[in-house]
Chain A
Amino acid sequence: MIQFNNVAKTFRRARVLDGITLNIGLGERVALIGSNGAGKTTLIRCLLGEYTFDGTVAINGLDPRSNRTVVLGQIGFVPQLPPPLKMPVGQLIEFSAALCGTDPLRIHAIAKRLGLDLESILARQFVRLSGGMKQKLLIAIALGRDAKVLVMDEPAANLDPEARKIFFDLLAERLEDATMIISSHRLDEVSALVNRVIEMDMGKVVLDDKVADAISLTATLTCRIVLSRFEPAFAKALDGWKFTSHDENLIWEGNIAGPDRLRFLGIISRYTALVSELSLAEAKT
């Protein structure tokens, strides 16, 4: 599906990619991790045909640079930083849909599922949306077409827990017919989404490992937390996760998305001193 063959990229004298060779097959969900400057973004830009480089990159045997429209027609891309576009949301959707040959209503439908009411913001400039709204719209544009490859740079970073749950559901719907490359600084942010981890450092692949594909993207976990004493900061941290409390805010209950469990535990870990009991159980199907 995707082949990187001895890909090298140098900016002035800095070698940012140093002979990357990778094969990524259909249906693989790859976490591309590494610290800042590891070469993740550069590798993605080579894949999108945006950079010139030594070596070859091919998607289904086609070079993304010389076959731009064909290759990029199969790729849905979500950047880490939303571009500061001044155009209205409606026009961005029309433009993307027209180029990708998809129905704008598909983008509308996915945005709606993510909790983004497009009708009320169609005339608003993209740059004036909140970070979360921008992210949802870019995800909707990437998923609102028949992309065979999804390339996402920290896609869930600005989403609230509810939108993340829906985002995981949307990805689960594409498991059979799409390859996903999800870039992140931290493995715990994306570990539950992927079945392969590629770690980069100084422009090289330092780890390429298959991981257990045990966590279902659509799984839901029931969570119960008992506190020894209540602190308002704890309630604030759980804001957005839609938990309910009783017994004078000492018992908290709610559901979290399976792939979000590490992120959730990371948040709870800040209040370890308050937590006297915590249980996570997979909801029975």
Chain B
Amino acid sequence: MKSKIITIIFALYIFLFSILGIILKDEIISPTERRKLKTFPTFELSSEYINEVDKYFLDHFPLRDTFRSIKANFNYKVLRKLDNNDIYIKDGYIFKKEYPTNIASINNFIKILNINKSKLSPSNNVYLMIIPDKNYYLKGNDFLSIDYDYIYREMDKLDIKNIDIRDLMKLEDYYKTDTHWREERLDKVVKRMSEVMNFKYNKINYQKNVYDNFYGVYYGEASVNVPKEKLFYLTNYDIMNAKVWYLENEELTSVYNLENLDSFDSYEVYLDGASSYIEITNDNSNTDRELVIFRDSFGSSITPLLINYYKKITLIDNRYIKSSNYLDYITFDKQDVIFMYSTLIVNNSVTLKG
């Protein structure tokens, strides 16, 4: 009798998930992974076909995220693993393992940086800021990380004025569930930039706007229960009245795209996320200085805080546009030019175009 009952329970368990998997409507996108889910593959006479079918069922398995959470908790709490899928959680902060140091990538980064630099005019003032990713501030010696000293040593060898901000930043300056730094804590970085780049720093009182439902990019990856965060975006007259032109849609728009707050990646509120080439014009500026920022996504959230100091800011993202293409839109002459990249890009520079 016992065997009968237990056998039936197991059969029901298996059949329940099979039937649910078939009858539940397929999701198109996974919000936690920020990718399209597999559709059922069309039949082909290949041993790969069944693997594709398996991938489809894996993508659409009922309670998929719950199962992932079970695995993550088992890894952290029972197996006492230091990471799950390369994700560490310490003091409420989620970190993604960035290891090992990719020497070839660092060399490639330098090569591409030099290609861009060769396009500049001698009249340009050129600066470099390598933003430490938040793993740099991970306390304790347990976790594996890239060799930051090596990266900064290599950057020091370049013939570019370096703006080192490692001493300025703290772990609190980064989001707990995301890879990026927090706009509302970057004024000190602007101040450091002003000291090196010779523009007059003012203590500006920004209006602090809040979005309190922010789950960063690591939240989905971590698969454990971590509270949501507040995302702030700062405004003042100059920021709100700046004209922003994007190459992709060739339209004038604003510094913050508030529609993105409720999207998969709320951080895209800053300058509308990924974009190859952006021009921001501040008609209220009392200076004629212009700034060009070669940047990654960290640049999106600091740029609004620089609007007050420049007449025009041009952002170039080398992951989406080559030098031969951006030269159609910009002429280098007397601008301040800053190469502003995170250590994550330096260590994964394969995405950069020359």
A and B: interacting chains:
no
**B residues with CB within 8 A of A:** none
